[in-house]
Structure 1
């Protein structure tokens, strides 16, 4: 029985498809919409790509340049194998068809995608079969990460704005955790967004604001300190410009508070889904892994047991495995830049937090630093070791054991 491959050129409106046989001949092509009728039409074409005979639909892989569209989700729900190919890879394959860099069309891209898995299908794998619970965790984890990025962006913006006209608001919380992000700091800033307004505050107003924001200790001490600080003579902007800057700061503060609330709300929802997952105890047994870190790791790695054939493949996907380049007598080793960016950043944070919780990880990091590695390069070594252990623990359903992960080091 001949085998068929399908290429699907994805866009926001119409989707061009092309079905090829073993020899690369086009047996069917057309255009569908991202609707239920379009999905039904495509599945019908895959069931009978040629008029000569019917073909098992689920044996026809579909190549597409995205793995997160609505059509992809519907195809996977229908049991169709989907292969997501990076657009950069597709662009390089386009040179095999024509040397012209500008030559491109939706229909030719659909045929190109089908040809990629026809000739090099063994190099491209179908999307992992993650559970519905994992898909929920992926969305919550990435939304929470985006909220954290927004929170940090508006926090840096707020600091920059205050530095131009109101440095006392920053000096008031120096040396304290979270500084201007503290609830009492935001409450005072909303009450007095300008130096002029802060200078008119009474001790009673400051004390009541601190108490309403949640502070229960040392209220009198902080009241006297802030009252004296706000009444010190400092450099000032012109009065009208100062009032306008106060309005701008209040708008930034509103965005910051919304982002901060989203961070905590999404973290709670994400933690609830993560703790209900059967693999959560394994992740939590590792040093430096809490509910948030475990959620991010599980969301990016997935729960498909067949996704990674070896621990080396897992490390390469996370960007912590070294990349060797050789040509003739030349040879160089560098870190991977093409990887899952979110997982790579998570592993960096994981390795850093494990240094104070795992003696083996700390000793491994110190050895790499003594050997001359920079701190980022040295962190990749314990991260790779922890990923090796995670791969083994998930495969054997065992919890983390420090003695097995980092046995006593022998030699120099």
Structure 2
């Protein structure tokens, strides 16, 4: 067999080839792109025995995505995506001085897949549709996170010169807040607005119900007495706030557009019905879960493996007489966020989920830990549904026998 360590950067790749005995056969720096991948194929072909196949080539690399990885998988190589933290720990087997280089990392990766590949997982063979859902779902989530950061920045600015706006709009990224703040980003501009003008602004923004009551409440909050900044300072803050409001308005438009695309692509997937049947999953959360779990049928050997990947199952640290059970902090943050939201939403959508959560709380378990345990249970249910190609059943998922077994565990 042939083992390849591939340390990647934005514009180049350092590769090292070793044989079964760990002898270095070649070391090269290749450029990113078609020319570089062609040189790598040529380099591998020059050292691969005549009776060997592409499946006899094992590649270790610190990423599982990108056109370079796609090309490696398409060539038929065994590709292992190694967590950078694991590579850093493995590096210490070869040197304790703390020295690091791209060539050294390529050697470490080659040795890692030569000696320890049985303890790592090859890159999953997800379908093209799942990859497309992943791109859209992650982009949508990135914009949602970006909107939250921009909203926090706007809130911080308003607190310094226009606290009345915070009283009027608890949620600054909402439609009503952005519409009114577009025309009134300073205390003086807000005082110049009357109720009728606010009604018209809200109507143009799309609000159809409770116009007068909402406009009256906003007008009263904006015109209430508050500590004020100096006039020129307030004007300067108003200019920057108007820019942030424009950014947030555009983010809302793009998030809505991406949401429709996520729904369209997710709806085409054959497992979409199974995901949507799970309690707490809507189109967006279901798409995020599918994107992060993938659809390779051989990726998870058991429900426990899927729960471990999801980060919902705990870890145990035992040393001597001390045993501590802790939450998993090294996990897929995107997947963990989706599953936590699913568990929270399932409390109102599933009687079994609610009863399980209440049982955890009655034992003195905190809210977040109880939701984590519920998410762990729901991941196991999802795994069973995907394995058997059946939709969720409330009766089957929460039978007394299954509930008792889970409690004992």
With the shorter chain as reference, the TM-score category is over 0.9
Alignment pair present for 1:128 and 2:131: no
- Find the aligned partners of 1:207 and 1:300 in 2 and give their Cα distance: 43
Shift of 1:77: 2.6
CA displacement 1:123-169 (0-9 Å, x = unmatched)? 11210000111111111111111101111111222222222222222
Q: Distance in 2 between matches of 1:170 and 1:207?
A: 19
Answer yes or no: is the 8 Å Cα contact 1:364–1:381 preserved in 2: no
Change over 3 Å in CA distance of 1:206–1:98 after alignment to 2: closer
Q: CA deviation at 1:378?
A: 1.1
Matched, 1:352 2:344: yes
How far did residue 24 of structure 1 move?
Answer: 0.7
Counterparts of 1:106 and 1:332, CA distance in 2: 37
Q: Could you say if the C-alpha distance between residues 97 and 405 of structure 1 is closer, same or farther in structure 2, counting changes exceeding 3 Å?
A: same
Residue aligning to 2:94: 97
Does structure 2 conserve the Cα–Cα contact (< 8 Å) formed by 1:356 and 1:362?
A: yes
Q: Superposition pairs for residues 7-406 of structure 1, below 5 Å?
A: 7-49=5-47, 53=50, 55-102=52-99, 104-173=100-169, 179-406=171-398
Aligned residue for 1:61, secondary structure, equals strand
Deviations 1:283-341 (A, max 9, x none): 00111110001000000000000001011111111111121122232222111112212
DSSP-derived class of the 2:60 partner:
strand
Distance 2:314 2:97 in 1: 35
Q: TM-score, normalised by structure 1?
A: 0.92
Q: How far has the Cα of 1:226 moved from its partner? A: 4.2
- Is the 8 Å Cα contact of residues 165 and 221 (structure 2) preserved in structure 1? no
Structure 1: distance between partners of 2:218 and 2:317: 59
**How far has the Cα of 1:235 moved from its partner?**
2.6
Query: In structure 2, how many angstroms separate the alpha carbons of the residues matched to 1:292 and 1:54?
Result: 48
TM-score normalised over the length of structure 2: 0.93
Change (3 A) 1:372 1:4: same
What whole-Å deviation, never above 9, does each CA across 1:14-42 have from its counterpart, x for those lacking one?
A: 21211111111112222211121221121
Aligned residue for 1:372, secondary structure, equals: coil
Question: Aligned partners of 1:226, 1:69: CA distance in 2, in Å?
Answer: 48
Deviations 1:348-375 (A, max 9, x none): 1111111111111111111111212121
**Gapped runs of 5+ residues in structure 1?**
none
Whole-angstrom distance in 2 between the partners of 1:359 and 1:271 = 27
Deviates more, 1:186-195 or 1:278-287: 186-195
CA offset digits 1:167-193 (Å, max 9, x no partner): 22232345xxxx433323322211121
Aligned equivalents of 1:76, 1:241: Cα separation in 2: 58
Shift of 1:54: 5.7
Q: Within 1, Cα distance between the matches of 2:324 and 2:216?
A: 61
What's the secondary structure of 2:172's corresponding residue? Answer: helix
Deviates more, 1:291-300 or 1:230-239: 230-239
| Residue 107 to residue 329, structure 1, CA distance change in 2 (3 Å) | same
| CA distance in structure 1 between the aligned counterparts of 2:218 and 2:313, rounded to whole angstroms | 51
Counterparts in 2 of 1:318 and 1:188: CA distance versus 1, 3 Å: same
For residue 12 of structure 1, report the CA deviation from its aligned partner: 2.1
- Whole-Å Cα distance in 2 between the matches of residues 126 and 378 of structure 1? 33
* In 2: Cα distance, 1:231 partner to 1:284 partner: 46
Gaps of 5+ in 2: none
CA contact (8 A) 2:147 2:173 kept: no
Q: For structure 1, which segment, 314-323 or 400-409, has the greater mean C-alpha deviation from structure 2 after superposition?
A: 400-409
Root mean square deviation, CA, Å: 2.0
* Aligned CA distance change for structure 1 residues 379 and 242 (closer, same or farther; 3 Å): same
Q: Residue 271 of structure 1: CA displacement?
A: 0.9
307-316 vs 86-95, which moves further: 86-95
- Shift of the 327–276 alpha-carbon distance from structure 1 to 2, 3 Å rule, reads same
